[in-house]
Amino acid sequence: MEEDRMGSIGSLPSPTKIAGKWTKMQAIVNGQIRVNHGFWHYWGSILKTRTVKHQYEQIRDTGRLDNFKLAAQGAHSGYRGLVFNDSDVYKWLEAASWLLASHPDEHLMQLVDETIDLVRQAQQEDGYLNTFYTLTNPNGRWSRLERDHELYCAGHLIQAAVAHHRVTGKRTLLDVACRFADLICDTFGPSEEGKRPGTDGHPEIEMALVELARETGNQRYLRQAQYFLNARGYGLAGGDPYRQDHVPFRQLDAMVGHAVRAVYLAAGAADIYAETGDPTLMETLLRLWHDMTTTKLYVTGGIGARYEGESFGNPYELPNARAYAETCAAVGLIFWAWRMLLITGESQYADILELALYNGALAGIGLDGTSYFYVNPLADDGTHRRQPWFECACCPPNIARLLASLPGYCYSISPGTIWVNLYISNEANLTLPDGLTIRLQQSTDYPWGEGVEFTLKTEGEYTLACRIPQWCTTGAAIQVNGMHVDDAEPGKYAKIRRQWRVGDRLTLSFPMPPRRLIAHPFVSEDRGCTAITRGPLIYCLEGADHPGIDLRTIQLPRTAVLHEESAPAELGGIVAIRTLGISTPLDPQWNNQLYRYEEQIVEPAQCKEIPLRFIPYFAWANRTPGQMTVWVRESSSPNVP
């Protein structure tokens, strides 16, 4: 029975091949992992007890579900919200489905089933499904592809359907998605085939159709994804960088335009490469990745420098207080990095995935699990606060579906090898492509603690390939049963192959001293500044820890010693960093003056020594409103005696 697929770890679904012919790794089925302790167990509990329930209430109370009810009743009026509100329902369904894999819950399953039934009833006889057009302009479907997100919404429907099918085995939503996908395939294509040329102004459909091809085995969906990618750059979706339609994809040499659309398109192209091996796609993807990571990536893993068009800026244009860094953009970057990791097997992509996950994306949801950031600045005056929802609510369900699916990112597989990508306490039951089933347990306090231990529960000869994070530049160590076995090179996978016995223990150690990070000299806002890091986490100063002090007056001496401080009862349990800094109060003569001649400054303002406390960036804005900054001015002077 379908319900049996939600049982214990020993009765999980058989693995689906979630990768392409041209990948070095395969993804695993999300339900093969049970997160059971530590940092991500906390977030899984928050998702189950608060986030998914809260988001369901929001899509219900804001009329998103009512739109489907009205469409099912044959109405042609009464639509509420923005044109793409359907997508928020689909992303909620995806998040809830992934969550059911690790947190089976009868009430949540009932809500999922009821929502799917609403979606099914709203579908038109020919397979079309978009409540905005059904309720407002039933004869105008496909008339404004460049702006109305019809294919974007379809993509989120398909992704939700694939997640639901993989977790539950039920076809209720998958059949809906296939009917709509078949209509899309019948409708769009070259005019010489009697079809309608076109592609969506917001990429998303490309990723979804490839996943649908993998789930169903129907290669028609893969070919349609190729068509939509290849149709870009010819003015069919607006003809501008904002919509990723200014030049054909293979001619792109830089990440430009709307950041979310850019990384969604890149992720879709990576999926297509994974299935086809088209070298021109990989050449473009590598070119774009290099441009982004070397000139346009925030230290937090955020992307998108400008409010104007929610877009990338010029190289090294990375403002702090005016950073856009949309939560969806960090989520999209993770999607792209994950696909590049599967394709290449190179640790650099997992390093960026981890950076964006722990910092740029996780900051997008409050510790209460029910408040959200749309944009994620790196400095603030205290006015930027999380909200319970947005009119344009793309970010809340996006971060929810990412975190709910996170167990599936922990490992990937290839013949004879388990690749450890993320360090998360869990029990795993993994079946490799060559048929070997391996059970293991991972125990760690990462990202707070430096130790990771694997206990093997399956005998046999196989390889554990453990990622050595790029940030761990010295001191990483690997032992098996207490014996040193390998040197650990940062930014690589350490591959330990042996005849494993039940009870064998593999331990990793990643020293996490607090460290300083400086930016490229061309990043003008960060020149002369430093950022504090520890392990995979970026830290910040927040006004709540420094009452009465303007954070803009603070300098961090180069000689300041950084000390760790465990705070298990604060902000969900964190490791903070303490040190001594310098505060230089503003000279009163600056009152009512914006500029002064240098010779008018008789003597420097008196500075004083103050205690500083840095907290993880993801945890800011969960206390009393106040200033925040990631980058702190660095002083060459020693601490004040």
> Catalytic residue positions?
310, 394
Q: Classify burial at 602, counting beta carbons within 10 Å of its beta carbon; exposed 0-12, middle 13-18, buried 19 or more.
A: exposed
Task: Tell which residue, 517, 523, 518, 521, has the closest CA to residue 318.
Answer: 523
Give the span between the Cα atoms of 187 and 504, in whole angstroms: 56
**Three-class secondary structure of residue 374 per DSSP:** coil
Give the span between the Cα atoms of 358 and 538, in whole angstroms: 8
Contact (CB, 8 A) for 620 and 540:
yes
Q: Classify burial at 40, counting beta carbons within 10 Å of its beta carbon; exposed 0-12, middle 13-18, buried 19 or more.
A: buried
Contact (CB, 8 A) for 356 and 302:
yes
Q: Which residues sit opposite 506 in a β-bridge?
A: 454, 480
Q: Classify burial at 445, counting beta carbons within 10 Å of its beta carbon; exposed 0-12, middle 13-18, buried 19 or more.
A: middle
What is the full DSSP assignment across 134-153? HHH-TT-TTTTHHHH-HHHH
Contact (CB, 8 A) for 269 and 285:
yes
- Please work out, in degrees rounded to the nearest 5, the angle formed at the alpha carbon of residue 384 by the alpha carbons of 304 and 629: 70
Structure token digits, residue 528: 């002369």
Q: Tell me the Ramachandran region of residue 238: left when phi exceeds 0, alpha when psi lies from -120 to 50, beta otherwise.
A: left
Buried b (16+ CB within 10 A) or exposed e, 547-573: eebebebbbbbeebebeeeeeeeebbb
